[in-house]
Amino acid sequence: MKSVLIVSAILFNSLVYSQYSWTPAVVSLKNGSVLTGEAKIPQVGASFNFGGTEKLKFRTEKKAKKKKFKIQEVDHILFTVTFKERVNGKRIEKTEIETYVPVLIKKRNTSTLFSFMQEVVQGEVSLYGRTVTQNSGAWMPGAGGVNAIPVYIGDWSQHNQLWVCREGKEAELINHVSLFKGFKKRASEYFGDCPRLVNKIEGRDLKKSDLKEIVEFFNSNCGD
C-alpha cells in the first residue's frame, strides 16, 4: 500500500508540475543583473497554480552549476528559440527571440501570485500565453503534457492557455484548450468598455483565432 501511495504521488507531481526544456536565454533580474546562458521555467498543471512559488532555473552552460531565482526576482527572460518551418516545400531552420515575463495571477492580502508567460502583445491590455500540462502522459502542440518541451511550440497561438491583463490588474484566462464554447461572451464582457470592438466580436468579424488582433484593436482604438 505504501509503495502504491509513493508511485501515485510521483505521478501526481509529474502531472501538475514539469519543466520546459533548457533553452539559450538572457535573464534580466529586478536588481539590474543580466545573466547569459541557458534557462528553463516551470510548466504548471492546468488545474493547479504554483504562481507564488515558480522558480527560474539558470546555468551559464550545460555542465555548469545551476542557480534558482524566485519569480519575484525576475524582470524578463529573452529565450533564443530555434525551430524548423516548411518554406516552398523545404524545411528551413529559423531563430526567434521570445520574451517571457512574470504575470500577475492573483492579488492576496499577504502575497501576490505570479506565473511565467510568453508576452504576445504589450499595451493597456496585454496578451500572454503559456502551455500547461493536462492529465495525459503525452504532449503535443496546444495540448500540454508531462514531458519537458521547448519554450517555442510552433507559434504563440498554440499555447493552450491565453491570458489578457490590464495594467495593475489580475490577468484573466480568455482562452483555454478545454474552453470550446463561450469565447465570444467572455471577450465581449472583458472588452465591454469598447463598443466598437464588441460589435466586431458579436458580428464575428473578429473571432477566437483573431485574439491578437482583438487586443491590438483595443489598444489602438479604445485605450486611454
pLDDT-derived band at 144 (thresholds 50, 70, 90) equals very low
| Confidence check: pLDDT of 5 > 70 | no
Between 56 and 10, the more confident residue is 56
Between 171 and 182, the more confident residue is 171
Between 111 and 46, the more confident residue is 111
Q: Side-chain half-sphere of 102: how many Cα atoms within 13 Å? A: 24
| Confidence check: pLDDT of 40 > 80 | yes
The pTM of this model reads 0.81
74-78, 153-157, 159-163, 184-188 — which one is most confidently predicted on average?
74-78
Between 2 and 86, the more confident residue is 86
What is the structure's pLDDT at 152? 52
Domain segments of the chain as ranges: 2-179
What is the structure's pLDDT at 30? 97
| Confidence check: pLDDT of 202 > 90 | yes
Is 85:94 a contact under the CB 8 Å cutoff? yes
Q: How many CB atoms lie within 10 A of CB 180?
A: 8
pLDDT-derived band at 181 (thresholds 50, 70, 90) equals low
